[in-house]
């Protein structure tokens, strides 16, 4: 599919061995975890004779941008169903339009029914739509992050290092489910810590657990002998750093975004990676683990960085 995403040590005064894996540099449509997942979904799509790709997400959605791009490149129609509550213009939504996606916005409580109706309508008209859950959720998305986990293993082997901790922004939990499945299948012992960007526990963690169980419940993994206790043990979903919920910014997050850009030349956004990076820093300090080998997975969202940029107002 593609080469390993860049992984390297950050030049930090505070953290001795803090590495980043730059999933935002996946070379397709501004990258990110949604690009990695979408590559796997489109492998599936390319096997069938689908003429429509239908998915859902808000006007801020990185997933919808990447899916709209991949559909357009194949000459397939793309329909995006989104909540009217979050339908303001963003760089992602402008790109969805550029890719010619049909965007249908309805009140959030009608999203699910609208999807069903649209799929029915297309099929009645003789079309063959492929439906992707929001955020690229589901076993195919999970598999994409098992592949990412394997890249991390390769990096460790080639560089003679072992990451004691892996941190990243966790939303729908698919990225986390894939990483944890990867770990369980390898039998490694380390802490994989999803920093929730919105959901609270127990629901947030339960969704990750469900994705892991669904994936490992497939026939091919019967012999792997992974127990429910193993799954529980490895699934760490922290909801301490969600702030005021999805997409809510704060001075602290803006400071981290600014620092990361100035010190590391690395863009973060306030919804996902900035919030998670801040949560990770706090966790490292609170748990005195600054001397450990730590990996932060940069999950993307570059267009969101530009949506935020005007907040910094000149010298700031």
Ligand X SMILES: *Cc1c(COP(=O)(O)O)cnc(C)c1O
Rank residues 50 and 167 by Cβ distance to ligand X and give the closer one. 167
Say which residues have a Cβ less than 8 Å from residue 48's Cβ, sequence separation at least 6. Answer: 128, 130
* Binding footprint of ligand X, residue count (CB under 6 A): 18
Q: Is residue 277 a contact point for ligand X (CB under 6 A)?
A: no
Rank residues 53 and 197 by Cβ distance to ligand X and give the closer one. 197
- What length is written for the chain? 316
Name which of residues 3 to 32 contact ligand X (CB under 6 A).
32
Name which of residues 99 to 138 contact ligand X (CB under 6 A).
135
Written as one string, the DSSP assignment of 181-204 is HHHHHHT---EEEEEESSPPTTHH
- The separation between CA 95 and the C-alpha centre of its own chain, rounded to angstroms, equals 19
In the complex, the smallest distance separating the C-beta of residue 159 from ligand X, rounded to whole angstroms, is 25
From residue 283 to residue 302, the character string flagging contacts with ligand X as x (rule: CB under 6 A) and all else as - is ----------------xxx-
Rank residues 155 and 272 by Cβ distance to ligand X and give the closer one. 272
As given in the structure block, the two tokens for residue 67 are: 């899916």
Q: Is residue 173 a contact point for ligand X (CB under 6 A)?
A: yes
The angle formed by the CA atoms of residues 222, 227 and 230, to the nearest 5 degrees, is 130
Q: CA of 70: how far to CAs of 27, 39, 48, 60, 314, in Å?
A: 13, 8, 15, 17, 36
Counting DSSP H helices and E strands in the chain, the numbers are 11, 10
Q: Out of 138, 171, 182, 303, point to the residue binding ligand X (CB under 6 A).
A: 171
Least Cα distance to 198 among 239, 167, 168 occurs for 239
Q: Out of 7, 29, 33, 235, point to the residue binding ligand X (CB under 6 A).
A: 33
Rg of the chain taking only CA atoms, in angstroms: 19
Rank residues 29 and 174 by Cβ distance to ligand X and give the closer one. 174
Rank residues 195 and 294 by Cβ distance to ligand X and give the closer one. 195
From residue 43 to residue 62, the character string flagging contacts with ligand X as x (rule: CB under 6 A) and all else as - is -------------------x
Q: Is residue 174 a contact point for ligand X (CB under 6 A)?
A: yes
Q: Is residue 273 a contact point for ligand X (CB under 6 A)?
A: yes
Q: Out of 58, 92, 172, 260, point to the residue binding ligand X (CB under 6 A).
A: 172
As given in the structure block, the two tokens for residue 90 are: 């963003």
Q: Is residue 69 a contact point for ligand X (CB under 6 A)?
A: no
Rank residues 50 and 99 by Cβ distance to ligand X and give the closer one. 99
Stretch that binds ligand X, among 66-74, 165-173, 211-219, 285-293 (CB under 6 A): 165-173
Q: Is residue 268 a contact point for ligand X (CB under 6 A)?
A: no
Q: Out of 22, 34, 143, 205, point to the residue binding ligand X (CB under 6 A).
A: 34
Least Cα distance to 101 among 139, 147, 55 occurs for 55
Alpha helices of 4-51 — where are they, by DSSP H?
33-47
In the complex, the smallest distance separating the C-beta of residue 301 from ligand X, rounded to whole angstroms, is 3
Say which residues have a Cβ less than 8 Å from residue 148's Cβ, sequence separation at least 6. Answer: 5, 21, 23, 36, 175, 178, 179, 182, 297
Residues that bind ligand X (CB under 6 A): 32-34, 62, 135, 169-176, 272-273, 299-301
């Amino acid at each position: 599919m593609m080469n390993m995403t860049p992984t390297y040590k950050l030049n930090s005064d505070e953290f001795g061995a803090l590495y980043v894996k730059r999933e935002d540099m996946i070379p397709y449509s501004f990258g990110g975890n949604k690009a990695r997942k979408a590559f796997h979904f489109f492998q599936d799509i390319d096997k069938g004779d689908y003429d429509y790709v239908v998915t859902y997400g808000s006007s801020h959605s990185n997933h919808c941008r990447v899916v709209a791009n991949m559909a357009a490149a194949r000459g397939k129609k793309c329909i995006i169903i989104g909540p009217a509550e979050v339908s303001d213009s963003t760089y992602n939504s402008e790109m969805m339009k550029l890719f010619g996606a049909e965007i249908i916005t309805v009140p959030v409580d009608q999203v699910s029914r609208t999807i069903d109706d649209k799929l029915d309508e297309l099929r009645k008209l003789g079309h063959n739509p492929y439906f992707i859950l929001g955020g690229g959720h589901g076993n195919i998305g999970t598999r994409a992050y098992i592949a990412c986990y394997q890249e991390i293993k390769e990096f460790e082997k080639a560089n003679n290092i072992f990451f004691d901790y892996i941190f990243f922004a966790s939303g729908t939990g698919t990225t986390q489910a894939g990483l944890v499945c990867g770990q369980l299948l390898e039998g490694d012992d380390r802490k994989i810590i999803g920093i929730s960007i919105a959901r609270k526990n127990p629901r947030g963690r339960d969704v990750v657990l469900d994705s892991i169980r669904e994936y490992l419940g497939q026939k091919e993994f019967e012999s792997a002998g992974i127990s429910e206790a193993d799954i529980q043990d490895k699934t760490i979903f922290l909801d301490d750093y969600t702030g005021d919920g999805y997409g809510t910014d704060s001075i602290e997050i803006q400071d981290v975004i600014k620092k990361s850009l100035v010190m590391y030349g690395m863009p973060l956004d306030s919804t996902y990676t900035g919030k998670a990076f801040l949560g990770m820093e706090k966790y490292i300090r609170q748990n005195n683990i600054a001397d450990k080998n730590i990996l932060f997975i940069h999950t993307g969202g570059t267009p969101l960085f530009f949506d935020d940029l005007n907040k910094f107002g000149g010298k700031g």
